[in-house]
Amino acid sequence: MTTVGDVVLVSGGFVDGSGWQGVYDELAGDGLRVHVVQLATRSLLDDVAAARRVLDGLGGPAVLIGHSYGGVVITEAGMHPNVASLAYIAAFAPDRGESAGTLFAASAPILPPVEGFLLLDRGRFATSFAADLPDRVAAFMADSQVPFGVEALGGPVTEPAWRHRPSWYLVATEDRMIPAPAQRRMAGRAGAKTVEVIGSHAVHISQPAAVADLIRQSTE
């Protein structure tokens, strides 16, 4: 069997890769080589290219992990030859022709675009994105949002890697950005091995140990 020694973490929209700190610490403590992809979220093509640049630099097989919009990125980038498996963390797992924009819940508090970029309503950020984080942490996240490009939101997947790679999925049961029923549906059609965790959309921050456990399964 192939030994997977690398994991590549891809963040979602409106936030950056620093949210993976707890998961990073868990996995690095196991001796895995952990890489965090920083996305500009200007377009899906640019974000996929950023993930592929990290994958290009690896010497062996890796698990490619995505949170939220990062699931779109890994679905498109996951055909890279260094990708052994995929792991979705409260993430979109689009099929051909689908995008984050076609899959987002209508209730997500996305404000109208300004000069081609989107933000979440600060007043609703905590309840929608980070309901299980301390108030001060959620407030910081709301005030440090990464503008999300309309082009990235609408970028469609061409060939979903989950059709060709084994996949895992962590469902966050209290998620209000991508509701749990939608997560279960995407995980089911991808044939993903699924676990459920009581957590918000920011489950990778609030419960890094549970997220790391799922990723460990995907490296075996």
Output b/e per residue, 12-46; b: 16+ Cβ within 10 A: bbbbbbebbebbbebbeeeebebbbbebebbbbeb
Interval 51-103: pLDDT, tens? 999 999 998 899 999 999 999 999 999 999 999 999 999 999 999 999 999 99
- Evaluate if pTM is beyond 0.75: yes
- CATH topology for the 6-219 domain: Rossmann fold (3.40.50)
Which are the contacts of 57, defined by CB distance < 8 A and separation ≥ 6? none
Give 23-35 pLDDT, tens digit per residue. Answer: 999 999 999 999 9
3-state secondary structure string, 94-126? CCCCCCHHHHCCCCCCECCCECCEECECHHHHH
| pLDDT value at residue 19 | 96
User: Does 182 score more than 80 pLDDT?
Assistant: yes
Under 8 Å CB-to-CB from 206, ≥6 apart: which residues? Answer: 130, 132, 133, 199, 200
Report, as an integer, the average pLDDT of 29-57.
Answer: 96
Cα 35 to Cα 184: distance, rounded to the nearest angstrom: 27
Boundaries of every domain in the chain = 6-219
What are the pLDDT digits (tens) for 123-168? 999 999 999 999 999 999 999 999 999 999 999 999 999 999 999 9
